[in-house]
Amino acid sequence: MALIEKTIVAAVCLAASCQFATAQLIYQQDTREIFTEIERYWLLNGFPISEERESDVSNPIVDFSDFDDEVSVGIELDEDSYFRSAASLDSQLTPTLLTGSGSVWAEEGPGTPPCHDDYYATIDGFSRVYVEFEIEHESLIDVMAVQTLVQGSAQVGVQFQRVDEAPFLEVTLRASTTDRHEGVYRLEPGRYRFIVWNSLNMYCQPGEAERSDFETSLNLIGTPCNAADQAAPTGVLDLADVQAFAEAFLAGDALADIAEPAGVLDLSDIQTFVGEFTAGCP
């Protein structure tokens, strides 16, 4: 594999320049949300006969025309001395960058009644970034998500897809301390959906607490001038593009899949990259 990478770099050691191209995210739907809920059930022969539930939810809404409008909201739920839950979310949209960070936390105090055949209790919480956007030109996008698990077993889910199509990015972060996903994707013009949610669920855990923090970003790098333009800054073919292609090829990433047959990384992709790089931008 090291020989392949050296061959790619050697074949395109001269940099080429082309006209800089710009692009932007055109937002269509924004449902950033935080939610907490505490439920307690009393059962008879396995069926609920009485229920106590307290929940709170917030769906901050921003005006897409005001890209500097930052959303910062929080929920705290404290039904009694046994159950406590909280969630928070900070996020911001700009024409080229979507960011979010948040936290979910829950605790069942040591005096929490134990669950048994006639009684159980649960605590749920999540903070979620859910945004749909359109792009009008082929674009490179960098997607990042990080989970920092402070305590317990909460998780972060990441999903990225073209609307009405199956997700091409779907990962679950399960951190013992910190878990991270980051990747660069080449998108055709169309409408896309980006979802990141930070969630926890506690079920009959007296004396236990959970907390999970997350950060996410979706960065529009720009419109590439050709198939060899794979890294920032777009509109310039240089060593960064060579390194990005080599790393994607060795990792088996779709970013390096630029020649037929689709879904296979082979010599055709390398030859296409070299040809596009040496030809420069139109």
Backbone angles phi, psi at 150, to 5 degrees: -80, -40
CA dist 221 and 236 (Å) reads 12
| Helical pair 267-279 and 2-11, crossing angle rounded to 10 deg | 20
Give the type of residue at 31: T
Using one digit for the tens of pLDDT, what is the confidence trace for 233-264?
Answer: 888 899 999 998 999 899 888 889 989 998 89
Which range, of 31-45, 53-67, 195-209, 243-257, averages the lowest pLDDT?
Answer: 53-67
pLDDT (mean) for 222-238: 90
pTM of the model: 0.80
Q: How confident is the model at residue 132 (pLDDT cuts 50, 70, 90)?
A: very high
- What pLDDT is recorded for position 19? 42
pLDDT (mean) for 3-13: 47
- What pLDDT is recorded for position 207? 85
CA 40, 48, 197, 127 dihedral sign is: negative
Give the type of residue at 187: L
Q: Kindly state the tokens that stand for 140.
A: 């490179």
Is the distance from CB of 126 to CB of 210 less than 8 angstroms?
no
Give the type of residue at 169: L
